[in-house]
A and B are shown apart, each in its own frame.
Chain A
Amino acid sequence: MSETGDFIIKVKDVSKDYGKFRALESMSFTVPKGSIYGLVGRNGAGKTTIMRIISGLQKPTGGTVEYGFDHKKLGKVGALVELPSIYSNQSARENLIFQYINLGLKIDGSVDKILNFVGLGNTGSKKAGKFSLGMRQRLGIAMAMAGNPEVLILDEPINGLDPQGIIQIRDLLIKLNKEKGVTIIISSHILSELSKLATDFAFVESGKVVQEIKAEDLETDGTGSLETEFYTGTPEKLIPVLTAKGLKATFDSKSGIVHAKGYYNLTNVVLAANEAGVNIARVVTKETDLETYFVKLVGGESNA
């Protein structure tokens, strides 16, 4: 089951049945080591189910989950599935100490370091039950961090947070990924936020992964193809330059805009146009955002 490699988790043909209902249908995807892997899908698509399976809370009906590390070692998988698991009648520090005991870790200065890392170092004896949702989420993440996990599984970690809370969690996750090298698997309904975080995406629909894509590929419509508008006074000079670069270029005489579509490096194109004496006033690249891409991919409303 466990082998090392450049992946952290490999989900292979995983299915999950709840009685007659099939929640997951041969789901497969690979989470690269060091990535922030975003799971995007509608309600009931199977995101939470696969997260539960990966974190060991549920067993799959079929298929396998491979881990690129020794996942049986205590604390190597950290997870925050839906609500953070914390004792509401204990302080942040006491909760973290309980987690240290849970993982068999020595209670030392690292407890306070983690609390400071998540910004809860000054909460004192305040009971976790009196924390704001954002603080509870951060405490949940702190507890998930306790065993220096290889992977952190976060299901809707910014749900219900105010804008400041969202920013705090986002910054914390980026810090965790960059500074501690923790791979993060995250799902969120707030696609605009997810797109700011994730380096990789998996689009989940009806219990299946319909597409895996890297964040940079998403910007190029997922195919590397760019759609660009050129504003110029000399479209007749520009079109041959674009065509020479292998692009499909058309001129819209009503708007006076040259539309170009294809695989190209924008900087090279602009330089080539300059050399040909074309004066370009403005370039607008039509980027595909996550929401648009999701709607395009699965169709219908963007109820991720």
Chain B
Amino acid sequence: MPKLLYFEFRRIIKSVFFWIVAAYSVVWPILTAVFYRVILTLEFTDTGVTLNKLHLSQGEVKFFTWFIAIAFITELPKFVALFTCLHLGRDYSDGIVRNKIIAGHSRASIYFSYLITQICASTFFCVVYIASAMLGVAIAGIGVDVNGGEMFGRFATGIAVFLVMTVTFSVLAVIFRKRALPIILSILIAMMSNAAATVIGMYNTPSKAYDDYISLRNEKLEAMAEEGFLSDAFVKKVEKDYGKDKLTGIPWKIFHPVYVVSPIGFEVDYGASGFTSLMSGGSEYITTIDYSFSIFYSDESQDLIWQNVNMSKVGELENAGDIIFTPDSLEKVDSMHSDFNKLNGIYIGKSIIWAAVIGGWGYFVFQRKNMF
């Protein structure tokens, strides 16, 4: 195995495409940082275009540090897919796999040398991208803040998720003899991964959060009924008609299990969907994930409730705000929040399992494969 690892590392270092992807990993995040610096301060005036002075809060500095650096998860997959498939595919097209077997190496050594070196190459690209992003935000004047080092835990999680894709590309390249098919499949996977993460990530809310939401909402509705804000009949109707199934819907039942068992959804949970994150999540570095808003605003009963509230009764009571149900009512419900340290562990765990499952399947196929 060490001989094959040395063989593969030497080949990687001699690969022109490896250095092209590495160069991209250096240049692109720096350009992105400069781009955002310009966008943030660009002003069109009657006399022309000026660049204003940049004023960012520390939270915003953290956000841009994270947002630009974590973009490797959306920017690199297509290049890594191409690199992996071309690099490993050459061993088939030039017959080197046969050479290795004839030389006396086991298929296990050959397979795992491919996997290990590709994982190392991908990790290298990610680390270079992150380092360049840091350099970029520093050069652009945005500033660097890694939240006391906590951000590195998230980067490590992102790399773990990214490596699942690398393992997938490697397996495809190794099990298909024809070079074109794994290239097409890998690029498709790379391009679809972001979209899939965005869709699946929307269904990230834990089941318990819905249960706790319904429980608290109904409790509050009963309190509102007691105070005369709502009628008992209406409360019963809401409790009957707007249960968990109504709140979550069929897509939740389909997609949530996918979210639970796979590392898909990282981009949404961690605000790493590139520009989409900026548009949807604002420019603050979030420290906890809050599900309460998404549940509250997906609950159609809320419109109905407000249409049926006796506003004159509400006006009569001084502490009405404490009784009425709002997203703030959910603030102290544990299941409504997710801590990033815990989430890092979950994602890393899922990534390791998936890499092992996909890599293991590839090994099974490779062991039985006809080498011609």
Seen from chain A, the residues whose Cβ lies within 8 Å of a Cβ on chain B are: 52, 55-58, 71-79, 81, 83-90, 94, 98-99, 101-104, 143-144, 147
Q: Is B149 on the interface with A (CB-CB < 8 A)?
A: no
Instruction: Tell me if A102 and B10 are in contact (CB < 8 A).
Output: no
Question: Smallest distance from the beta carbon of A137 to chain B beta carbons, Å?
Answer: 13
The listed residue with most B CB atoms (<10 A of its CB), out of A71, A83, A85, is A85
Seen from chain B, the residues whose Cβ lies within 8 Å of a Cβ on chain A are: 3-4, 6-7, 10-11, 14, 90, 94-96, 98-105, 370-372
Q: Summarize A's interface: helix, strand, loop or mixed.
A: loop
Instruction: Tell me if A86 and B94 are in contact (CB < 8 A).
Output: yes
Instruction: Tell me if A85 and B10 are in contact (CB < 8 A).
Output: no
How many angstroms between the C-alpha atoms of A86 and B95 in the bound complex? 7
Query: 9 pairs across A/B with beta carbons < 8 Å?
Result: A58-B370, A73-B104, A76-B104, A79-B102, A88-B94, A89-B90, A101-B6, A102-B100, A103-B3
Partner of B371, one of A57, A76, A101: A57
How many angstroms between the C-alpha atoms of A90 and B14 in the bound complex? 10
Please indicate the chain B residues that have their CB under 8 angstroms from the CB of A98 in the complex. 7, 10-11, 96
Instruction: Tell me if A85 and B99 are in contact (CB < 8 A).
Output: yes
Instruction: Tell me if B7 and A101 are in contact (CB < 8 A).
Output: yes
Instruction: Tell me if B90 and A102 are in contact (CB < 8 A).
Output: no
Instruction: Tell me if A104 and B3 are in contact (CB < 8 A).
Output: yes
The listed residue with most A CB atoms (<10 A of its CB), out of B4, B10, B14, B104, is B104
Task: Evaluate whether A85 and B104 lie within 8 angstroms (CB atoms) in the complex, with A103-B3, A104-B3 already known.
Answer: no
How many angstroms between the C-alpha atoms of A256 and B261 in the bound complex? 95
How many angstroms between the C-alpha atoms of A55 and B94 in the bound complex? 18
Partner of A85, one of B14, B95, B105: B95
How many angstroms between the C-alpha atoms of A57 and B96 in the bound complex? 12
Task: Evaluate whether A87 and B94 lie within 8 angstroms (CB atoms) in the complex, with A101-B7, A102-B4 already known.
Answer: yes
Question: Smallest distance from the beta carbon of A182 to chain B beta carbons, Å?
Answer: 15
Instruction: Tell me if B372 and A52 are in contact (CB < 8 A).
Output: yes
Instruction: Tell me if B104 and A143 are in contact (CB < 8 A).
Output: no
Please indicate the chain A residues that have their CB under 8 angstroms from the CB of B90 in the complex. 87, 89
Please indicate the chain A residues that have their CB under 8 angstroms from the CB of B11 in the complex. 98
How many angstroms between the C-alpha atoms of A87 and B102 in the bound complex? 16
Please indicate the chain B residues that have their CB under 8 angstroms from the CB of A55 in the complex. 101-102
